[in-house]
Amino acid sequence: MKKIQYIIILAFIGLTSCNKVIDLYPESNLNTGTFYSNDAEVKTGLTACYNGLQLPMFREWQLTELRSDNTYMGVPGSTNSFNRELSDLDWFVPATSIDAIYQFWLNTYFNIRNCNILLQKLGVNYDLASGSISLSNIDISITDVNRKQYAGEALFIRAYHYFNLVRLFGGAFLVYTPISPLDAKTTNRSSLADTYKFIEADLTAASTYMSNKTFSQIVPADKGRATSWAAKALLGKVYLTQNKKASAISQLDDVRLNSGYGLQSTYANVFSTGNEVNNEVLFTVRYKAGGLGLGSSFGNDFAPLASSGIVITGTVRNWNTPTSSIDSFYTAADARKAVNVGRFLPSPTVTSLYVKKFTSPVTIDLDGESDWPVIRYADVLLMLAEAQGNTATSVGYISQIRTRAGLGAISGAFATVAEFEKELTDQRRSEFAFENHRWFDLLRYGTTLTTINPVQILKDHFEYEYVSHYATYVAPVPTLLQLKGYVTTDKLLLPIPQREIDLNTQFVIAQNPGY
């Protein structure tokens, strides 16, 4: 049973985008000046940080999976403004004012502020010069163990948000303590190096503060909360993204050897709504159906048109549709295909593909149960293989993933680096399809692997899908040459939301190149 509670935060304001200051609160409302006086109130504030993961996740697939070769907006004949924005993201031509980008930005910084308020109350400080986290004295009645656990969880969530921001936008606006709207407008973007240093500091402290109980030792009430192992796994990915392979191996191997996490016996078990927060899932964004306001809309969002009452009850939107290349990517023996790619036949001559892994039955429209995994043990194994390169040990990790999928093990190392890297990237694409990994993987491959060119993969994607999909758009119909030309190194980053630039009266925020 899911333990995330539903609360409404009324008084957390002050994002960089705000141009109003609400400085009066009705006495009946909670505010940060009078709250956080004991353990229970701190835990309630932490629940808000967990709940705050849901809104950014609603947009994350639009900025990641949709821009990869895994999916596209599935209604090319639509002139609906929301669908057109999704297509612009898919084509690499998003306007700087596009709502999907702004809402992701807004909701992410909103939850960073939730975390910052909680961390301030717990006496957590970040020193920019040294890049380290420290604790100061506080007046809250709370045990040291709980204080560090709650702080570690908030640090993990904050680091996760900033890791997404730096990969999507480049150097971030580092806000690590609650600040006023005016102060926010005087805070400029930090460098990539400083942003990553900050993320590393958060995750290093989080891994120290939080429980390092093995999976079997975690009580049911605490499952779904961040742990030291989740922080180490995410830190390993942060290091790998920066090509710090030795540091990544140290973190990831610790998880492999000591965490008690492992692979589920079958791929389908990982995503079963009756088997959530299982021993493969180190961290997940949680959803709870039942009319609580905590359900997931993804099953409805991804279901194909005309499939209401067949694929899923209620609304069907076809927003995030598997490409023909991902469908054909799986071999007949691969057990992952049936879990990931659904097939709906609206007529005897038409087959509509859809993302199946988040399509659990719903009784209330847009109110699904499926969680969204962020870090899985399978990811730990494949990241270790990526960091270690073409060795027999790395091939062994890949073989574990292949064997569960029904493909069988590989013996020995590959003859060439190119063969190893192709198998590694193929397995990552198959294993994590539609979980928002593919885009970030492509970005990382350009740094960590020697034979993979992300820009060329995306250009090839447009060529592969052009006749069956992109050429069927209503006006404007892009040419293949145009689509391939839109994919440039500059466009691998998203634009800073134009509203942030327009509302800042203190200095001119630099827009990312190419926008």
Q: 319-335 as b/e, with b when 16 or more CB fall inside 10 Å? A: bbbbbeebeebbeeebe
The pLDDT, as a whole number, for residue 117 is 97
Q: Is the pLDDT of residue 178 over 80?
A: yes
| Side-chain half-sphere CA neighbours of 380 within 13 A | 29
Residue with tokens 């067949």: 310
pLDDT at 153 over 60: yes
Q: How deeply is 130 buried, as exposed, middle or buried, from its count of CB atoms within 10 A (0-12, 13-18, 19+)?
A: exposed
State the residue for tokens 């689509």.
Answer: 483
CB 92 within 8 A of CB 63: no
374-395 residue pLDDT tens: 999 999 999 999 999 999 999 9
At residue 476 the predicted structure's pLDDT band, cuts being 50, 70 and 90, is: confident
Assign 31 a pLDDT band (cuts: 50, 70, 90). low
Q: What are 397-442's pLDDT values in tens digits? A: 999 999 999 999 998 889 999 999 999 999 999 999 999 999 999 9
Q: Could you report how far apart the first and last alpha carbons of the chain are, in Å?
A: 46
Cβ atoms within 10 Å, residue 39: 15
pTM above threshold 0.85? yes
Q: Is 27's pLDDT higher than 60?
A: no
**CB-side neighbour CA atoms (13 Å) of 200:** 20
- Within 8 A by CB and 6+ apart from 159, the residues are 199, 202, 203, 206, 231, 234, 238
Instruction: Give pLDDT, residue 25.
Output: 32
Contact between 273 and 479 under an 8 Å Cβ cutoff? The reply is no
Task: Give the per-residue pLDDT at 204.
Answer: 98
SS3 342: strand
Give me 303's structure tokens: 């279901």
User: With pLDDT > 90 as the criterion, what percentage of the chain qualifies?
Assistant: 90
pLDDT in tens, 485-495: 999 999 999 99
Q: Which amino acid appears at position 11 of this protein? A: A
Residue 34 has pLDDT above 80, yes or no: no
Per residue in 265-276, pLDDT (tens digit) is: 999 999 999 999
Q: Is 99 left (phi over 0), alpha (psi -120 to 50) or beta?
A: alpha
Over residues 250-264, the pLDDT tens digits come to 999 999 999 999 999
Q: Residue 444: pLDDT above 60?
A: yes
Per-residue confidence band for 24, with pLDDT thresholds at 50, 70 and 90: very low
Tens-place pLDDT, residues 201-226? 999 999 999 999 999 999 999 999 99
In three-state secondary structure terms, 322 is strand
Rounded to whole angstroms, how far apart are CA atoms 319 and 261? Answer: 34
Give tens-digit pLDDT for 296-315: 999 999 999 999 999 999 99
- Structural tokens at position 191: 């460098």
> What separation in angstroms does the CA of 147 have from each of 12, 51, 118, 119?
21, 20, 11, 10
**Residue 188 to residue 195: CA distance in whole angstroms:** 12
The beta-strand segments (E) located in 83-242 are 124-127, 132-135
Q: Which residue type does 344 have?
A: F
How confident is the model at residue 16, as a pLDDT? 35
Percent of the chain scoring above 70 in pLDDT: 94
The reported pLDDT for the residue numbered 253 is 98
pLDDT of residue 18: 33
Q: Is residue 2 scored above 80 in pLDDT?
A: no
Residue with tokens 């006495």: 27
Residue type, 371: D
- Gap between the Cα atoms of 484 and 461, Å rounded: 9
Per-residue pLDDT tens digits for 138-150: 999 999 999 999 9
Give the pairing type, strands 132-135 and 124-127.
antiparallel
